[in-house]
Copies of this chain bind each other. A is one copy, B any other.
């Protein structure tokens, strides 16, 4: 519970309505989309503007009260659970599009806007914001920036980091900093903009963002290819790229995922196939046409059992059902679903998926794998039960081995979900002790009192398992 003195100061900043600390409020903000990390905050606060944020932060910095900035908490790394109590800051009052600038191709927004709402406003003007995290119907742009969210279009268009060109944020001492702007080029000092992107709320609070837009692609074509083996599908992924084609989307489902999706969605998938690729290309009509035909050819040469190209947008939508249904289908099997995002160079996809299958078997846990084949970003997903302590230990061990294998193949522990609490013990595996030290130096210099989202990114104890260091 907050001291009365502190509570009074916070209320005097935001008003009585915007500080909540009833038991039901505290419970509502005690968890995010990650299983097993629930913790109660001391209060929930709703700033109305940047000045409010700055004043709140100053109070919290003086009294060393943790602040957890939170969008809609769809993250999968336990990035927004208030593990050390303190206040959860939410941005329901700061959810506006401030400016959509068609001449400079930018949109300036407040952090609380729901990503899809912004995307729809942008597309209504014939413009395009490419990052499309699967959570975008619910997640906020502030959350996306803090996690550097990816999505299905990352292969061709990149991730959130590639579209944030200006920020306003509040430092842990209450200072307000503005970086970048409506500028394609800006090298005035260190790149604070990208430092804040993906910093998971541990360095400050983002209060405004200017995002780069591009013209909306004229057309899109969707296709689905089925393979007997994962290896053949993996080789096709490499062959498409080797043919100098970069599709917008290049997704895959492994055999166990296909089985589960068909059981759930009954869309007529042949459950005996070894892998499915979902491929989309967008751009000018003639290029999309040409690329799609070439991709279909490459799929067939690569041993696809069948290749379907959608003739209409509706058919295209239908083809994406299998991929879209994957998480829902998997989630219904067991009480707890743990969705990971170990990532490898794209040439290592098949090898990685095979390794995951072996790891699952060896540890006697059930893992299905699907994800973004084109950028090597896999989603090995474990169906388990968090109440079964013995099984959870095996799950933890299996994921440890998955991360180790990813690193061994030149990959990373997280492609798009972030580190949070969940992957903090493994951070040094990817970045080394020297890398963690460099990050901690930044953290300590920005936030000496460790008020900003404490307990995230940096683990109290790292797993000391020895891994191959390049």
Contact = CB atoms under 8 A, between A and B. Distances in A.
Chain A interface residue count: which class? 35 or more
A246 interface: yes
Interface in A101-147: 101-105, 126, 147
A70 interface: no
A317 to B, nearest CB: 24
A434 interface: yes
Given A190-B198, A244-B215, A416 B185 contact: yes
Interface stretch (A39-47, A282-290, A382-390): A282-290
A378 to B, nearest CB: 10
A360 interface: no
Interface string A424-463: 0001001110111111011111100000000001000000
Given A126-B244, A284-B287, A290-B284, A188 B430 contact: yes
A445 B417 CA distance: 27
A154 B186 CA distance: 11
A185 B438 contact: no
Contact of A345 (B104, B158, B343, B417): B104
Interface stretch (A58-66, A298-306, A328-336, A407-415): A407-415
A238 interface: yes
Contact of A343 (B185, B241, B376, B431): B185
Contacts of A185: 150, 154, 159, 343, 372, 375-377, 412, 415-416
A437 B175 CA distance: 10
Interface of A: 101-105, 126, 147-148, 150, 154-155, 158-159, 161-162, 171, 175-179, 181-192, 194-195, 197-199, 203, 214-216, 238, 241-242, 244-246, 283-284, 286-287, 290, 343-347, 372, 374-377, 410-419, 423, 427, 430-432, 434-439, 441-446, 457, 470
Across the A-B interface, the 8 shortest Cβ-Cβ residue pairs: A184-B375, A215-B244, A185-B415, A194-B194, A445-B445, A441-B445, A182-B345, A175-B434
